[in-house]
């Protein structure tokens, strides 16, 4: 009997201590690949070092999917999610996210309050942005030794630039490119897409390369297709292209003309298991130094103005990061800025139309 | 002690004078033998039931309940009705066709204000957006300004956004004010309701699901046929070879069967792509020149090849197990009676393989109809199946009701097929091994 008592106490203790340890860790769900690695290096490791809180990184193709599923099932298991703007606004409107007051966020090193330090219109009620990233065209230099393509329109010119094209299998990152290539100015894209004629125009332009397209679904696929020689040109997330070019030394080049600018943001679901620790993490990760640090690992632009001057070299110590940043001034001239409101309204409808077009 | 159960074996030992006056057979202890038998069987049944209880619970929790929820979700969506009660009451009190009056607008504004305050207006807008694209932001943006509105709302609300005066929007809101709706099934069949409430086909450039259902069924039939053509001779060979050789060959069937689906699909990508092994080989051998490499993947061909390979074991294994049990002397007898080898095969051997063929075909077809990963990876645009569209609505557009309606239609199709199979062949003839 005594022995039994002893054993149960022992189990109780270890269970208790295991529990205590668990309370000191948070789950963060983010995208996979080079991007989540940059977050581990720039945010998670220093955060654990400073606070002792362990950060479990959970990878996903698109973290808004598990987030939505967890919220709807009323069983939220992660504390912080790294998602895009449109779902952040949608989930905030649905009351699923914790509201975050910009005054709670750390100021810039020179004392500028966070409200003014983040790029204009990037802070949202429930979300703190960390990076801006671009969808760009990447091509294989060896396929076009002389006369390389330079414009978005060249993507649709398979006569002059032979080879297959890689495009993502969704309307959001294909229709804009068709319109840009058709001569619609970058700041008129969503105005045009809001009309039936504009949508028709985009699909008509896509028709011209439909038979030459290899469709991709996950961010890692386009670089694989390009490396395999399956496509000679593809759109891809600029950080992935950078990773392939610099870290893996592939002969790729980027066309910045008509890049599609997006933002990633941190959100905390209302029923998160550790909301206080989650808030601490978000504050830490979106501070000036951490955002600048992330650029050491991947070429995504920090969302704070005060981070920009701190950006130096890539983690290899040689490559200058500035010219690879999607937020570099010369890359912004023809950039299309994502319009989350437009997509909240029209995503379902255009996805349906896009799928019908694909299948037809 | 008298009340406890007698030993069931003792109960059947009939006493010499066991016939009671009323003609009943009695056991040694004088009780009715049929009752004793029933009682002992009841105990056995209870034990058996307890043994299957874990499985039963498991199936109910992981299969019956989710499928029930899915079916419910396909017809039940209270995104609008639960959060907009006042305007719902107005709809209930006024018949279809009544133009909205001030009372309707006032009800709408009070609902919008409440829904905006408790942060559920996004859910409301999303529900309406399914049936009337482009209105989600109408709800969320109006929700932000609704507290500043003054009556008469019939004039001030359309000033915020002219869409509030659109009769089509009111028709959609009326539809959504009841949580039970057939609209998701209509959408899953490329149908919609027009402003007058009549069911019509959607615009030609939006029609996609019926075509995909048809494609899924045709492709699955073709794949079933291909697995039969490829699998039958192999199964026959396996069944007739001496055991040692057959076992060796069997490993070749089973190894891919045990390999992860994802690995096999990726292997096909390596083999089939334009810069892949097969194209390289053909170019090297001089059958193709470098410019005209075959496109064997990212289209329907890729789906067909990869899925046929992945599903082949599901045809071979049932066929093999049935063929093993066919007595070879029947065919020999037919031959000795003068049948040609083709006739003996056609009239004696083949009919005996039908139970295995039926099982294999049913397995392959039903698995193919629901296939998702392989077409997603190698299907390109022309090799997508209906399950890929279900996945899109589950993970991208997040329209779970539509995904549920599509899945329910698919399930219904499979059940009809199962019923037809049962009537034509008989499910008792199914042999899985």
Contact list, A197 vs chain B (CB under 8 Å):
none
The nearest CA of chain B is from the CA of A179 a distance in Å of: 19
- Determine, for residues B134 and A352 on separate chains, whether the beta-carbon distance falls below 8 Å: no
pLDDT of residue A16 exceeding 50: no
Q: Which one is predicted more confidently, A4 or B114?
A: B114
> Where does residue B190 fall: left (phi above 0), alpha (psi -120 to 50 degrees), or beta otherwise?
left
Cα(B164)–Cα(B87) distance, integer angstroms: 13
The nearest CA of chain B is from the CA of A360 a distance in Å of: 8
User: Which residue from B130, B380, B392 is facing A214, i.e. has the nearest CB?
Assistant: B380
pLDDT of residue A17: 38
Q: Would you list the domain boundaries of chain A?
A: 8-132+263-326, 135-261+334-359
pLDDT of residue B174 exceeding 60: yes
Please give the CATH superfamily to which domain A8-132+263-326 belongs. Answer: Periplasmic binding protein-like II (3.40.190.10)
CA-based angle B385:B185:B72, to the nearest 5? 105
Q: Which range among A126-130, B97-101, B415-419 has the greatest average pLDDT?
A: A126-130
Task: Indicate the DSSP class of residue A257.
Answer: E
Mean pLDDT of A208-237: 90
pLDDT of residue B356 exceeding 50: yes
Contact residues, chain B to chain A, C-beta under 8 Å: 118-123, 125-126, 129-130, 133-138, 140, 205-208, 211-212, 215, 273-275, 298, 376, 380-382, 384, 389, 392, 395-400
Sign for the pseudo-dihedral over CA of A163, A168, A170, A172: negative
- Determine, for residues A352 and B206 on separate chains, whether the beta-carbon distance falls below 8 Å: yes
- Determine, for residues A94 and B215 on separate chains, whether the beta-carbon distance falls below 8 Å: no
Mean pLDDT of B379-396: 86
Share of chain B above pLDDT 90, in %: 51
Which pairing describes strands A127-140 and A252-267: parallel, antiparallel, or unpaired? antiparallel
Contact list, B140 vs chain A (CB under 8 Å):
93, 344
pLDDT in tens, B125-151: 989 988 888 888 899 889 888 888 888
- Name every residue whose Cβ is closer than 8 Å to that of residue A64 and which is 6 or more positions away in sequence: A81, A83, A84, A87, A91
Cα(A302)–Cα(A108) distance, integer angstroms: 13
The nearest CA of chain B is from the CA of A209 a distance in Å of: 13
Residue of A194, A195, A250, A253 lying closest to A227 (CA atoms): A250
Mean pLDDT of B350-371: 91
Which pairing describes strands A233-237 and A301-302: parallel, antiparallel, or unpaired? unpaired
Q: Which residue of A has its CA nearest to B123?
A: A94
The helix (H) or strand (E) run that includes residue B99 is none
- Determine, for residues B122 and A356 on separate chains, whether the beta-carbon distance falls below 8 Å: no
pLDDT of residue A22 exceeding 90: no
pLDDT of residue A54 exceeding 90: yes
- Which of B378, B395, B400, B403 to mutate: most A Cβ within 10 Å? B395
- Determine, for residues B206 and A230 on separate chains, whether the beta-carbon distance falls below 8 Å: no
pLDDT of residue A70: 92
Dihedral Cα B334, B340, B346, B348, nearest 10 deg: 0
Residue of B157, B124, B123, B127 lying closest to B142 (CA atoms): B157
Mean pLDDT of A47-69: 91
Q: Would you list the domain boundaries of chain B?
A: 25-73, 85-180, 209-429
Contact list, A93 vs chain B (CB under 8 Å):
119, 121-123, 125, 140
What CATH fold (topology level) applies to the domain A135-261+334-359? D-Maltodextrin-Binding Protein; domain 2 (3.40.190)
pLDDT of residue A2 exceeding 50: no
pLDDT of residue A341: 85
- Determine, for residues B298 and A214 on separate chains, whether the beta-carbon distance falls below 8 Å: yes
pLDDT of residue A30: 93
What CATH fold (topology level) applies to the domain B209-429? MetI-like fold (1.10.3720)
Taking one residue from A and the other from B, the number of pairs with CB-CB distance under 8 angstroms is 93
The nearest CA of chain B is from the CA of A353 a distance in Å of: 5
pLDDT of residue B1 exceeding 60: no
The nearest CA of chain B is from the CA of A316 a distance in Å of: 32
pLDDT of residue A5 exceeding 50: no
């Amino acid at each position: 009997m005594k022995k039994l008592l002893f054993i149960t106490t022992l189990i109780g203790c270890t269970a208790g201590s295991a529990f205590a340890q668990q309370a000191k860790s948070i789950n963060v769900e983010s995208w996979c690949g080079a991007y989540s690695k940059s977050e581990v290096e720039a945010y998670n490791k220093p955060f654990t070092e400073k606070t002792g809180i362990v950060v479990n990184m959970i990878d996903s193709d698109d973290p808004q999917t598990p987030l939505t599923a967890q919220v709807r099932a009323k069983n939220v298991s992660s504390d912080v999610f790294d998602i895009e703007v449109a779902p952040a606004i949608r989930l905030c409107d649905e009351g699923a996210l914790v509201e975050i007051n910009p005054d709670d966020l750390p100021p810039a090193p020179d004392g500028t309050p966070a409200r003014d330090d983040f790029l204009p219109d990037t802070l949202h009620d429930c979300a703190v942005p960390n990076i801006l990233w671009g969808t760009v065209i990447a091509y294989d230099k060896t396929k076009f030794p002389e006369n390389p393509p330079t414009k978005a329109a060249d993507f649709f010119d398979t006569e002059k630039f032979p080879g297959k094209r890689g495009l993502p299998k969704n309307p959001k990152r294909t229709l804009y490119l068709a319109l840009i290539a058709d001569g619609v100015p970058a700041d008129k894209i969503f105005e045009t897409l809001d009309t039936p004629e504009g949508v028709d125009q985009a699909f008509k332009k896509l028709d011209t390369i439909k038979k030459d397209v290899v469709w991709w679904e996950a961010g890692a696929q386009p670089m694989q297709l390009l490396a395999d020689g399956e496509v000679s040109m593809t759109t891809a997330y600029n950080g992935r292209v950078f990773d392939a070019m610099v870290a893996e030394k592939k002969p790729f080049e980027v066309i910045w003309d008509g890049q599609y600018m997006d933002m990633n943001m941190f959100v905390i679901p209302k029923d998160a298991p550790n909301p206080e620790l989650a808030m601490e993490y978000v504050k830490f990760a979106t501070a000036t130094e951490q955002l600048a640090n992330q650029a050491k690992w991947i070429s995504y632009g920090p969302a704070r103005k005060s981070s920009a001057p701190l950006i130096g070299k890539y983690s290899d110590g040689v490559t200058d990061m500035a010219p690879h940043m999607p937020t570099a001034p010369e890359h912004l001239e023809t950039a299309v800025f994502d319009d989350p409101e437009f997509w909240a309204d029209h995503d379902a409808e255009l996805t349906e139309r896009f799928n019908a077009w694909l299948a037809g | 002690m008298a009340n406890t159960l007698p030993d069931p074996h003792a109960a059947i030992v009939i006493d010499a004078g066991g016939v009671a006056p009323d003609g009943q057979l009695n056991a040694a202890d004088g009780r009715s033998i049929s009752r004793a038998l029933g009682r002992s069987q009841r105990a056995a049944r209870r034990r058996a039931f307890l043994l299957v209880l874990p499985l039963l619970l498991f199936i109910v929790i992981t299969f019956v309940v989710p499928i029930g929820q899915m079916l419910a979700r396909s017809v039940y969506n209270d995104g609008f009705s639960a959060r907009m009660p006042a305007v719902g009451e107005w709809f209930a009190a006024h018949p279809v066709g009544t133009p909205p009056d001030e009372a309707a607008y006032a009800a709408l504004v009070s609902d919008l204000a409440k829904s905006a305050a408790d942060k559920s207006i996004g859910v409301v807008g999303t529900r309406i957006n399914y049936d009337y694209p482009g209105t989600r932001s109408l709800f969320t943006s109006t929700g932000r300004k609704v507290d500043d509105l003054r009556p008469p709302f019939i004039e001030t609300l359309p000033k915020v956004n002219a869409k509030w005066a659109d009769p089509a929007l009111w028709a959609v809101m009326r539809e959504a004010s009841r949580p039970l709706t057939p609209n998701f099934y209509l959408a899953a069949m490329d149908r919609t309701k027009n402003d007058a409430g009549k069911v019509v086909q959607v615009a030609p450039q939006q029609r996609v699901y019926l075509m995909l259902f048809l494609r899924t069924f045709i492709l699955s039939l073709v794949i079933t046929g291909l697995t039969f053509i490829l699998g039958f001779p192999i199964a026959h060979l396996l069944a007739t070879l001496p055991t040692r050789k057959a076992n060796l060959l069997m490993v070749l069937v089973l190894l891919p069967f045990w390999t992860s689906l994802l690995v096999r699909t990726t292997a096909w990508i390596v083999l089939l792509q334009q810069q892949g092994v097969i194209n390289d080989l053909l170019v090297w051998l001089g059958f193709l020149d470098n410019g005209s490499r075959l496109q064997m993947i990212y289209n329907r061909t890729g789906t067909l090849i990869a899925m046929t390979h992945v599903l082949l074991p599901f045809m071979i294994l049932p066929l093999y197990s049935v063929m093993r049990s066919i007595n070879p002397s029947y065919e020999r007898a037919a031959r000795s009676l003068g049948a040609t080898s083709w006739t003996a095969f056609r009239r004696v051997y083949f009919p005996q393989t039908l139970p295995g063929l039926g099982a294999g075909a049913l397995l392959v077809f039903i698995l193919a109809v629901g296939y998702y990963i392989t077409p997603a990876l190698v299907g390109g645009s022309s090799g997508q199946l209906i399950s890929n569209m279900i996945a899109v609505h589950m993970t991208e557009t997040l329209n779970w009701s539509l995904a549920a309606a599509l899945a329910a239609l698919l399930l219904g199709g499979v059940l009809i097929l199962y019923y037809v199979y049962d009537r034509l062949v008989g499910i008792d003839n199914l042999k899985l091994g």
